[in-house]
A and B are shown apart, each in its own frame.
Chain A
Amino acid sequence: GDSVTQMEGPVTLSEEAFLTINCTYTATGYPSLFWYVQYPGEGLQLLLKATKADDKGSNKGFEATYRKETTSFHLEKGSVQVSDSAVYFCALRVIDLVGKLIFGQGTTLQVKP
């Protein structure tokens, strides 16, 4: 079945450092891909998405490119801030009538001043 694998965390960075969180997927066909962010005690917020190969999703300085050759959707940000500290989830939307999301295990990011 479809699955998503993220790099293990936690990831600890200093403010203004470069961020990469790796995400790879296994799926039938070419599903839409998402990155969600979860702040402590809250639900998930959509960070960015890409619906087809070579699409680049971007938002709030974060970017991710849909790479079908490597089945990857790595999240990057050039300069992280303390406020970016959160848990980040990579997800894919299963290609069926329901369209449920399958999530990776999540990566905790901690940014220190």
Chain B
Amino acid sequence: GAVVSQHPSWVICKSGTSVKIECRSLDFQATTMFWYRQFPKQSLMLMATSNEGSKATYEQGVEKDKFLINHASLTLSTLTVTSAHPEDSSFYICSARTTGTVNYGYTFGSGTRLTVV
């Protein structure tokens, strides 16, 4: 089945530095990638939607200059947390929309635990 590889699985960084999270679709082309943020014991909050070759669409309240999303190819999307601060610590999950007509599906990455110290 469709697999999305997300790396790193966890990262610790210093406040003020930037962190890049990668999501690769291994055996399919991900034309659309969704990026979520999950706080402890809470639901997934959609941050942005990216389509290959175009700018990402951010949800209301998400700072696009802080959370840079690049979807340069059909198999790779990246999320860069710039100038990270402790409040950015969270679990980030990507999800690729698999191709198809009406009944398309979604494949999720395994998530990245970001801790900013």
Contact = CB atoms under 8 A, between A and B. Distances in A.
Interface string B17-50: 0000000000000001010000001111010010
A46 B95 CA distance: 12
Contacts of B67: none
B108 A99 contact: no
A41 B43 contact: no
Q: How large is the interface on A (under 10, 10 to 19, 20 to 34, 35 or more residues)?
A: 20 to 34
Contact of A43 (B49, B104, B105, B108): B108
Nearest to A36: B108
A36 B43 CA distance: 12
A103 B47 CA distance: 13
Nearest to A4: B43
A81 interface: no
A89 B93 contact: no
A108 interface: yes
Interface string B99-117: 0000111101111010000
Given A51-B103, A89-B43, A100-B34, A44 B49 contact: no
Provide the main secondary structure of the chain B interface: strand
A105 B42 contact: yes
Interface residues of B, number: 22
Interface string B47-89: 0010000000100000000000000000000000000000000
A104 B43 contact: yes
Given A43-B93, A43-B110, A46-B105, A100 B43 contact: no
Interface string A76-100: 0000000000000100000000111
Given A89-B43, A103-B43, A104-B43, A44 B93 contact: yes
Task: In the A-B complex, list the 9 residue pairs whose CB atoms are closest, starting with the nearest.
Answer: A43-B108, A43-B110, A44-B108, A105-B43, A43-B111, A103-B43, A103-B44, A106-B43, A43-B109
Interface of A: 32, 36, 41-46, 51, 89, 98-106, 108
